[in-house]
Amino acid sequence: MGYLSWIIAAPFIAALTIMALPRRWAWSIRLVAAAASGITLVLSLFVFFGYDWRAGGFQFVESYEWIPALGIRLRLGVDGISAPMVLLTGIVIFTGSLISFKIRDRTKEYYALLLVLVSGVFGVFESLDVFFLFFAYEIAVLPMYLLIAVWGSTRKEYAAMKLTVMLVAGSVLVWIGILALYVQTGASQAGISSFDIEALTNPRVQQLFPRTFQLVFFPLLFIGFGVLAAMWPFHTWSPDGHVAAPTAVSMLHAGVLMKLGAYGCIRLAVGVLPEGAQAWAPLFLAFGAVASLYGAFSAMAQRDLKFVIGYSSVSHMGYVIIGICTLSLVGLSGAVFQMFAHGIMTALFFALVGAIYDQAHTREIGIFSGLARTLPWFVGFFAIAGLASLGLPGLAGFIAELLIFLGTFQTYPLVGVLAVVAVAVTATYILRLMARAFFGPFNPRWSGLHDVLPNEWVAAAILVVTLIAAGVYPAPFLSMIDSSSAPIIERVGGVR
């Protein structure tokens, strides 16, 4: 077993271990979870820094027989797009485990589900086999229902049900698309049906997908995955889901799960069906553009901190959709980098909101005031997340948005203008929120609140350092992403 299979296995083994531990040993459970996710983080760092972007392609490849009769293998590997996603997942699950220490209700089941979910997420990012990808995708989505419905808050049953139904509906579309690909490859002279991603993008196999086939099945795959990426207008599960979910689940959810959707759009929809992408991209680009502005304006009108961030995620994922649909190298690379940047910043946001909600039992922006005086660390970390969100240079979000905008200007200049305007709107709502809740006269009602706890501090510091490092020196990320976006754009015939 190599790095990649251990990354998937470690959380899963930890989940099994936790199930075997007695319920009373809450701290052992927490430590096992933290240790396992820490190991995963270290392994994902190895993978990220071990990836040789000059060589490109899939690396760390592992291959095991699974269901040979159907041509299904367990193949793992990462390329320049999935390696940053693996790192992102590693960072978010480690920080998420740290800030989950305060979960007291059914700690055992909570951690077990969380870790199983993460195994699924890693499985999606690392899989080179569409069947396994889908399998892992479902593993990642379903524990979410229980995590929200049991440990959540604020209309949690409604949110959990809506989220699950919408995501399952999305995966039905995806499943149809995947089966179509499988059957179509089998229709060739060679007659070998394949679930292998590398094979599907092979030029000879690509010839098996005629234009009509692509036109029909591209939207199924793109919308199916797009639902999970909170693509407008299939996004409504996301603000409700984020709000209802417990803190670490919100972090994983907004930070990583939404990226699964975007990843699927890139890997399977655009990557495998280039002609479909050419035809359909303008429509989905328009969806992305609407999302970016509409999400930003909606966020401005929210009164609940988590709803602000939830809509902000819709807006930021709108940029990702725009970037993908420009079908330009710069735009696509920007979209992937934005997936990373947004994952980190939104995890930071939710970690901090959780820290305050657990004490104040409210998230109303209007009734907080002057928190900066008593909670300097909290406000400092939150401000950094906010600044990353409004695209301040020096933080990761800036580079990502820069590239997406440049890609958009290359292809659809007017959409580019709208997207840049959306950033100004973002600045407005983020600063309004901060001015309202953190500045102004101190409200003595909140004098009982304490600043971030040590475990939360460590988690937030890791996320902040990542944001700064990726923002100041994005070259390692971009070279890597670039090496794997280029073949996709080449197949699509987009702007290089």
Partner 1 sequence: MEYAWLAPVLCAGAFFFNVIISRQTPWKHRLSALVSIAAILGAFGVFLVVFSDALANLLGTAAAHGAAAAVDDRSRHLLFDDEPWFQVGRYAFQATLVVDWLSVMMLGVVSFLSALIQVYSIGYMRGDNRFWWFFSVMSLFSAAMLGLVLAGNFLLLYVFWELVGLCSFLLIGFWYQERDNAEAAKKAFVTTRIGDVGLFIGLALLFLQTGTFQMNEIFDAIAAGRIEPWVVTTAGILVFLGAVGKSGQFPLHVWLPDAMAGPTPVSALIHSATMVAAGVYLVGRAFPLFAASDVAMGFIATIGTITAIFAATIALTQRDIKKILAYSTISQLGYMIMALGVGAYTAGLFHMFTHAFFKALLFLCAGSVIHSMEPVLHGTGKSPNDVFWMGGLRRRMPVTFWTFVIASVSLAGIFPLSGFWSKDAILAGALAEGAWVPFIVGVVTAFLTAFYMFRAIYLTFFGEERWRFAAAVPPHAGLLVVAPTAASVPAAAGAMDVQTRRPGEDVPAHLEPEVRPALEEHAVPGHHAEPHESPWVMALPLVIIAIPAAIAGWIGIPGLFDPFAEAIRFGPAHEEALSPVVASVSVLVALAGIGLATVMYWRPIIRPDAIADSVPGAYRTLYNKYYFDEAYQWLINRVVLALAALAATIDRKVINNGIVDTPAGLTGAAGERLRYLETGRVYQYAFAFIVGIVLIGLIIVLFP
Note the residues at the interface with partner 1 (CB under 8 A).
162, 165-166, 233, 236-237, 240, 294, 297-302, 311, 329-330, 333-334, 370, 372-373, 387, 392-394, 398-399, 402-403, 405-406, 409-410, 413, 416-417, 420-421, 423-425, 427-429, 431-432, 434-435, 438-442, 473-475, 478-479, 482, 486, 496
| Nearer CB in complex with partner 1: 96/310 | 310
- Cα gap 314→307, rounded to integer Å: 11
Nearer to partner 1, 137 or 412 (CB): 412
- Tokens representing 309 are 């961030």
Q: Are residues 14 and 36 in contact, defined by beta-carbon separation less than 8 angstroms?
A: yes
Residue with smaller CB distance to partner 1, 442 or 457: 442
Residue closer to partner 1 (CB basis): 11 or 334: 334
Distance CA 323, CA 285 (A): 8
Question: In this structure, what token pair is assigned to residue 139?
Answer: 């593993």
Residues 6 or more apart in contact with residue 478 via CB below 8 angstroms:
333, 337, 399, 403
| Least gap, CB of 57 to partner 1 (angstroms) | 17
Q: Closest separation between CB of residue 105 and partner 1, Å?
A: 28
Q: Based on the number of CB atoms within 10 Å of its own CB, is 458 exposed (0-12), middle (13-18) or buried (19 or more)? A: middle
Closest CA to 335 of 322, 354, 350: 322
C-alpha span between 114 and 143 (Å, rounded) = 7
Complex with partner 1: residue 114 or 422, whichever CB lies closer: 422
**In the beta sheet, which residues pair with residue 64?**
74
CB of 271 to partner 1, least distance (A): 17
Q: How far is the CB of 209 from partner 1 (least distance, A)?
A: 26
Question: In this structure, what are the phi and psi dihedrals at residue 364, rounded to the nearest 5 degrees?
Answer: -65, 120
Q: Which amino acid is at 375?
A: L
Residue type, 398: F
Do the Cβ atoms of 29 and 18 come closer than 8 Å?
Answer: yes
Specify the amino acid at residue 121.
V
Provide the token pair at 249.
Answer: 């689940």
From the CB of 389, what's the least distance to partner 1, in Å? 13
**Nearer of residues 42 and 402 to partner 1, judged by Cβ:** 402
Longest dimension (CA), the chain: 76
Which residues, listed in sequence order, are joined to residue 65 by a DSSP beta bridge? Answer: 73
Instruction: Return the residue matching tokens 């933080």.
Output: 395
Alpha-carbon span 81 to 261, nearest angstrom: 13
Closest approach of partner 1 to the CB of residue 232, in Å? 8
Work out how close the CB of 409 gets to partner 1 at its nearest, in angstroms, rounded to a whole number: 5
Shorter beta-carbon distance to partner 1: residue 21 or 449: 449
| Nearest alpha carbon to residue 403 among 394, 416, 385 | 416
Q: Measured from the CB atom, is 282 or 370 closer to partner 1? A: 370
Of 328 and 346, nearer to partner 1 (C-beta) is 328
